[in-house]
């Protein structure tokens, strides 16, 4: 069936309210994009990550409604849903029927991280290299949620896991993926030799996506996902947390307590210039703290003091 597409600009601060109003009046899907994106390959974000707002200050929200939805009535309903938001800048267009997530997936190509790690769309043939006997291939449906490897923060964490595997540090290990989103980092750790992975996220939809992707990759019995207040108390030799710098600072005691003595931690979601605060916050519990950069993003790694 055809759809009615509504597009409205907003700021990073306003985004949750706009999205909530759109969902409350029956939006079938909401996608987010950088309002100033000039690059032809700019990707939409189908959902933000754990506790995160999008990574842009000015955004464009696009929502799909059933075809034939009256535009004036829709605007009236949106104004009633949140009368303080500016809906006068909303624009509409009729669009033909298509599978929106699958259309986006058709443009998503397999990606390699490090020497062995591959993220491959579930419906894509394995590229050369990903079919090697020692390749760690994660089959992912990026349309489901939160993380597909395309963002530098995720790439930095995948590269780190790949390096740990090359050092033998993942073999048989238990891994904590704090802020798991789609479960991509936990899945990669399992494919690289970890025995078990625990995902933690404060969004129930992320837990569903993680479980779905775990089943898709044949590791459902080795990956568990929990809300933060339900996570079993435990320590891990490997912890990865791809969240925001402010959250990393606020959760320093919690994350430090999750890392076993001598264990490794990787933290990302840190903009260049924010790494000093993160390093200072973790210095009391970790040695060998190091910052690595990819584009405008930083990954901080360290070893838990014994």
86 labeled binding residue: no
What are 33's two structure tokens?
Answer: 């994009």
β-bridge mates for residue 7, sequence order: 62, 91
179 labeled binding residue: yes
Contact 154, 184 (CB under 8 A): yes
242 labeled binding residue: yes
26 labeled binding residue: no
The CA–CA distances, whole Å, from 278 to 36, 54, 292 equal 29, 20, 13
Place of tokens 């990550």: 49
C-alpha angle with apex 300: 299 to 302, nearest 5 degrees? Answer: 140
- DSSP character at residue 264: E
Composition of the chain by helix, strand, coil, percent to 5: 30, 30, 40
What are 217's two structure tokens?
Answer: 């990759």
Give the torsion sign (CA, 111, 237, 270, 293).
Answer: negative
Place of tokens 């402010």: 246
In the chain the first and final C-alpha atoms are separated, in Å, by 61
β-pairing verdict for 3-11 and 91-95: antiparallel
Residues of the binding site: 154, 179, 201, 242
Residues of the binding site for S-adenosyl-L-methionine: 154, 179, 201, 242
């Amino acid at each position: 069936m055809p759809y009615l597409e509504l597009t409205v600009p907003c700021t990073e601060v306003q985004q949750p309210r706009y999205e909530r109003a759109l969902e409350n009046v029956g939006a079938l899907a909401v996608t987010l994009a950088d309002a100033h994106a000039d690059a032809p390959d700019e990707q939409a974000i189908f959902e933000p990550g754990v506790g995160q707002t999008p990574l842009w200050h000015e955004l464009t929200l696009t929502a799909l409604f059933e075809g034939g939805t009256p535009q004036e009535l829709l605007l009236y309903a949106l104004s009633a849903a949140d009368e303080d938001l500016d809906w006068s800048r909303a624009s509409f267009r009729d669009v033909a029927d298509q599978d929106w997530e699958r259309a986006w997936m058709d443009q998503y190509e397999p990606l390699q991280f490090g020497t062995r790690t591959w993220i491959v769309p579930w419906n894509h043939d394995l590229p050369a290299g990903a079919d090697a006997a020692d390749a760690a291939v994660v089959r992912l449906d990026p349309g489901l949620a939160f993380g597909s490897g395309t963002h530098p923060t995720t790439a930095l964490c995948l590269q780190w896991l790949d390096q740990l595997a090359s050092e033998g540090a993942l073999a048989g290990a238990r891994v904590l993926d704090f802020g798991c989103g789609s479960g991509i980092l936990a899945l990669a750790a399992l494919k690289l030799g970890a025995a078990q992975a625990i995902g933690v996220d404060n969004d129930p939809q992320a837990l569903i996506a993680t479980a779905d992707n775990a089943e898709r990759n044949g590791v459902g019995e080795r990956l568990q996902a929990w809300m933060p207040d339900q996570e079993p108390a435990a320590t891990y030799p490997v912890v990865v947390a791809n969240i925001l710098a402010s959250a990393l600072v606020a959760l320093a005691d919690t994350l430090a307590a999750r890392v076993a003595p001598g264990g490794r931690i990787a933290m990302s979601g840190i903009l260049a210039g924010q790494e000093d605060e993160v390093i200072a916050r973790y210095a009391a519990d970790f040695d060998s703290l190091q910052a690595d950069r990819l584009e405008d993003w930083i990954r901080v790694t360290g070893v838990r003091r014994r």
